[in-house]
Amino acid sequence: MTRQAPLEKLPRHRHNLPRALVLKTQKRRILRATAEVVARAGYRAATVADIVRRAGVSTKTFYELYADKDAALCAVYDAVDGIIARYYESHQSVGGGDPRARLHAAVAFTLARLAADATFTRLLIVEAVGSGRRIQARRNQAFRRVAALIAATLPAPTDETLILAYLGGLTELVLQHLAEAPVATLPVLLGPALRFTDVLFFPR
């Protein structure tokens, strides 16, 4: 296996950078490194030592920011939650506000984002399934947050259980595809995903 170089480090010694910027940069590097190490080695084999080596930070810095590997992984989910929430907030008027057009656009956005980053796709779709109890709980929380955003998009009140089943179906569709094809090809699933969406939420 090819050894990866550490992520770009901050300047050493005195650098006159604001403390807030230093922390933001360190957090970003640690989260990216966490995603990369877990995606490559698997949840159970990944260690904090691997993460700090990949991130180019000290173990002391890691533990000043995160209690353990699981805390860093939960922070990755926090970042993903933010991306999804910002997408829904900024696309309220897609298709003139038509619910079907908005949900179709959200599905297309999701597949495109997954296709663009194999590391996060493997982490969130594949490795999360076999992770520890805490990460499983955080994954479930993320699913429910997305379900709430979808529910707010739909024209009529919809049972959360149905929306969670929908998200589970899309996730399984992605998993089946990744068993035989590279991450970059995920947008080919858009047609089946949109048909599934229409059958559940917008039957003719």
CATH number at residue 89: 1.10.357
Whether 2 maps to a domain, the answer reads: no
Whether 5 maps to a domain, the answer reads: no
Tell whether 111 and 59 lie within a shared domain. no
CA distance 103 to 110: 11
CA distance 176 to 197: 18
Q: Which of 49, 65, 81 is the last residue of a domain?
A: 65
Whether 8 maps to a domain, the answer reads: no
Residue-range definition of the domain harbouring residue 30: 19-65
Q: Which of 41, 65, 89 is the last residue of a domain?
A: 65
- Helices 69-90 and 99-116: crossing angle in degrees, nearest 10, is 140
Tell whether 187 and 89 lie within a shared domain. yes
Tell whether 78 and 159 lie within a shared domain. yes
Tell whether 51 and 81 lie within a shared domain. no
Whether 119 maps to a domain, the answer reads: yes
**Nearest CA to 143 among 133, 151, 155?**
151
Q: What does DSSP assign to residue 179?
A: T
pLDDT at 15: 54
pLDDT at 4: 54
**Residues ≥6 apart with Cβ < 8 Å to 195:** none
CATH number at residue 60: 1.10.10.60
Decide if 102 contacts 94 (C-beta within 8 A): yes
CA distance 85 to 88: 5
Whether 11 maps to a domain, the answer reads: no
pLDDT at 20: 78
Tell whether 60 and 108 lie within a shared domain. no
Tell whether 141 and 111 lie within a shared domain. yes
pLDDT at 1: 40
Q: What are phi and psi of 97, to 5 degrees?
A: 85, 5
**Nearest CA to 201 among 153, 152, 154, 144?**
154
pLDDT at 11: 47
Rounded alpha-carbon distances, angstroms, from residue 53 to 39, 58, 112, 151:
15, 8, 30, 42
Structure tokens at 48: 């904090």
Whether 57 maps to a domain, the answer reads: yes
Whether 82 maps to a domain, the answer reads: yes
Tell whether 90 and 128 lie within a shared domain. yes
Whether 140 maps to a domain, the answer reads: yes
Tell whether 89 and 142 lie within a shared domain. yes
Q: Say how many domains are in the chain.
A: 2
pLDDT at 10: 46
pLDDT at 95: 66
pLDDT by residue for the chain (204 residues), tens only, comes to: 444 555 555 445 445 667 778 788 899 999 999 999 999 999 999 999 999 999 999 999 999 999 999 999 999 999 988 888 898 888 877 767 799 999 999 999 999 999 999 998 998 888 887 788 899 999 999 999 999 999 999 988 899 999 999 999 999 999 999 999 999 999 999 999 999 999 999 998
Rounded alpha-carbon distances, angstroms, from residue 73 to 70, 85, 162:
5, 19, 27
